[in-house]
Structure 1
């Protein structure tokens, strides 16, 4: 049971190629499959952390892999949404900013860890992740979302920009807190 959180995280990583493959299925069916896989991945993201705390099964491996799995999923989804023009034009800027932040902050957190500084995940970062997950899920609906309402894609794009604002906010927050912690360490 103590391995279950890490197994869920690994399962989430393995769902990424499956999500990409089903998104290639033309029409709403591919969208529904991709949305379903993405939703399952989001649920496992919540469950692995919850189970690790509940079972007292936190590990260094899990601490490292969980955020990597999250970043891989986000980046993969953004890339396929751009490739299939579900995100295009100025909205590509939002996707690019999110990808840049994910890479920068992942590097920065590892840089800090190597220097003995750890930063807890902030509440704002949890909000960012939640909004980002919802936005990407809505955008994955693509044609299927259009069948529900003509406003589904627009809602997803608005949420993408809200997630981008939180993304920028959390990047500044992590960079300033991390830099301050490094200065105190000296």
Structure 2
């Protein structure tokens, strides 16, 4: 399976997103967007394991060149059991490995990075976020497989961020240390 170094070098002219280092899941990010973020309560069989998930489907534009972009629906997710992180799910058809059936492309980064990037350039690593004139936000994603630039409307991401603060307030995030260590160890095996 060949990997593509950038978003413009695809043989069939389809744009692609670099593969995330976060494991993908089964999630359809191509559903029609809702006006407001959707809060879902996920219940396990045990009484103690209740999780609140905030999903917000937004319109994003994957930039192909200075004059060309492709529009797609992106699901932005916040979960109270992972309170420091925000996840973005991009449609599988834009993944680098989509020729093999590909999975949804999932990127995870800190909620504080998203908050900072709405007002000023933020991020030094694989995810960089910055506002641009016209009330838009640019999210740049890079990995060893390639890079992508996705443009969102500022209001959509602000609405999501505000709703996430209703689930877990800013500065109120609590981390379960044992769970975090278990997750890290799970990812390395």
Report the TM range for the smaller structure's normalisation. under 0.3
Higher helix fraction (1 or 2)? 1
Higher relative contact order, structure no. (Cα contacts within 8 Å, ≥ 6 residues apart): 1
TM-score by structure 2 length? 0.26
